[in-house]
Amino acid sequence: MRRPLEISVVGGCGHVGLPLSVSLSSAGFQVVAFDISSGAVEKVNSGISPFWEPGLDEALGLALANGFQAQTNSNFIAKSDVVIVIVGTPIDVHLNPDPNAVVKAVEEIVSKLNNDQLLILRSTVFPGVTTQVERLLRRLGLQTSVVFCPERIAEGFAMKELFELPQIIGARTDEDFKRASEVFESLGIKVIHTTPEEAELAKLFTNTWRYIKFAAANQFWMMANDSGVNFENVRNAIRFEYPRASDFPAAGFTAGPCLFKDTMQLAAFSNNTFALGNSAMMINEGLPFYIVERLSNKYDLGNTKVGLLGMAFKGESDDNRSSLAYKLKRILKFKSGGVLTSDPYVKNDADLVSEEEVVEKSDLLIISAPHLRYKQLATDKPIVDIWNLRGEGSAV
Ligand SMILES: NC(=O)c1ccc[n+]([C@@H]2O[C@H](COP(=O)([O-])OP(=O)(O)OC[C@H]3O[C@@H](n4cnc5c(N)ncnc54)[C@H](O)[C@@H]3O)[C@@H](O)[C@H]2O)c1
């Protein structure tokens, strides 16, 4: 009988690395997550996911029982058939991508790679990174096959979507495509063959497309709001039995570690001539300023204590990476009579106080992350709710 493939996942304790690792383990592969974060490795090996992801703790428990483990040393890579790289690829404070993040991660493990392995790049990358990695390997005399297979899950849906979303496989040869297909088809999903360059752009276009759609909704919301028209009524009317507008998003903070960052990667890739992407960035990143501006027309903001409900970048999540709630907090700290913040899920923010304290001590409340609990929040204080969670309208 053929032995199960052995798979190393580099960055395997991260938000996308861990769900993928345990899912591949459930599909019967021998999987080891290699990660430089000893804290995350420790947590994973004790059966606790380092972050919120529904269904992950249960799947992790099963995976550990089936032999999955996390390690801070990269030794397992040398005996792996398949090596998946899924490290973070952030932009810097000047919005520049680091096209070398993945190349560097590969450089660090290169002594463990061999010609028979399949190297799957899965981070969202600046276009051309697959070629850079191939060049690095060939320069060192390695013939390791390299494919680019982007991750397209949304946080909070990983354990469902990993078993549903088709996998784009950017492979130079049919043989490489077949080898990568064996990995992803084990999750019961369909695969589609492109070149690595097509797959790199497919991932960036996917996220940027969403970012631009949210920007359009946010701009429409501001237009309606400025002219005193109820945006919710307009949106409902547009979507009513009209399938072509079924994906018309609601207004809301468009934030988090991916959409903005990937739009900026594409902007840099197009030599900063990506007018649509830059406009979307100005609209989405401008929303906290717009809200504060509107509030300062309505309230004596300098003497108003403002309470922010929710600091995560999306509803029900503990992830506050690149959350616009923090930008709102920064602006309000400057312009209001004080800001209090709370979030029932976020764990890494020492400034947070309880929801009760925020509600009690604030004159004005802003829902800054759409956690569903705020639908029911009982208070007679004014609440700004651009998501219209409470069904009372999103006007500011
Ligand atoms: N978060 C998402 O929902 C999502 C969805 C699709 C794609 N992506 C993309 O996936 C990639 C990873 O994102 P993430 O959110 O999982 O990031 P993350 O920061 O949560 O995870 C990255 C992990 O890699 C580890 N790491 C960093 N450098 C390493 C190295 N050299 N060797 C071994 N481990 C290393 C870190 O310790 C961390 O645990 C990014 O390119 C991102 O754009 C993310």
Q: Which atom of ligand 1 is nearest to the CA of 158?
A: 3
| Helix, coil or strand: residue 87 | coil
Q: Is 20 in the pocket of ligand 1 (CB under 6 A)?
A: no
Percentage of the chain beyond pLDDT 70 is 99
Percent of the chain with pLDDT over 90: 96
What pLDDT shows up at residue 94?
84
Query: Is the C-beta atom of 176 inside 6 A of ligand 1?
Result: no
Domains of the chain: 6-194 (3.40.50.720), 228-384 (3.40.50.720)
SS3 of 340, please? Answer: strand
Residue 290 sits at φ, ψ, to 5 deg, of -60, -45
Give tens-digit pLDDT for 124-152.
999 999 999 999 999 999 999 999 999 99
Hey, which of 9, 10, 13, 16 would you mutate to test ligand 1's pocket, going by the most ligand atoms within 8 Å of its Cβ? 16
pLDDT mean across residues, the chain: 96
Distance (Å) from CA 265 to ligand 1 centroid: 16
Reported as a pLDDT band with limits 50, 70 and 90, residue 354 is very high
Average pLDDT over residues 41-52: 96
Ligand 1 site, residue 13, Cβ cutoff 6 A = yes
- The reported pLDDT for the residue numbered 18 is 98
> Is the CB of 84 inside a 6 Å radius of any atom of ligand 1?
no
Confidence (pLDDT) at 1? 58
Would you say the CB of residue 127 lies under 6 angstroms from ligand 1? no
Is 50 near ligand 1, meaning CB less than 6 Å away? Answer: no
Ligand 1 site, residue 36, Cβ cutoff 6 A = yes
Q: Which one is predicted more confidently, 129 or 95? A: 129
Cβ neighbours of 21 (radius 10 Å)? 32
> For residue 208, what are the contacts with CB-CB under 8 A and spacing of at least 6?
259, 262, 263, 266, 277, 280
Query: 185-205, pLDDT tens digit by residue?
Result: 999 999 999 999 999 999 999
Alpha helices, H only, the chain: 17-26, 38-45, 56-65, 75-78, 101-109, 129-139, 158-161, 174-185, 196-226, 231-239, 259-269, 275-298, 324-335, 355-361
Angle at Cα 276 formed by Cα 272 and Cα 282, nearest 5°? Answer: 85
Using an 8 Å Cβ cutoff, are 31 and 9 in contact?
Answer: yes
Q: Give the pLDDT confidence of 15-37 residue by residue, as tens digits.
A: 999 999 999 999 999 999 999 99
Q: Report pLDDT digits (tens) over 255-296.
A: 999 999 999 999 999 999 999 999 999 999 999 999 999 999
234 token code pair: 């307009």
Greater pLDDT, 172 or 1: 172
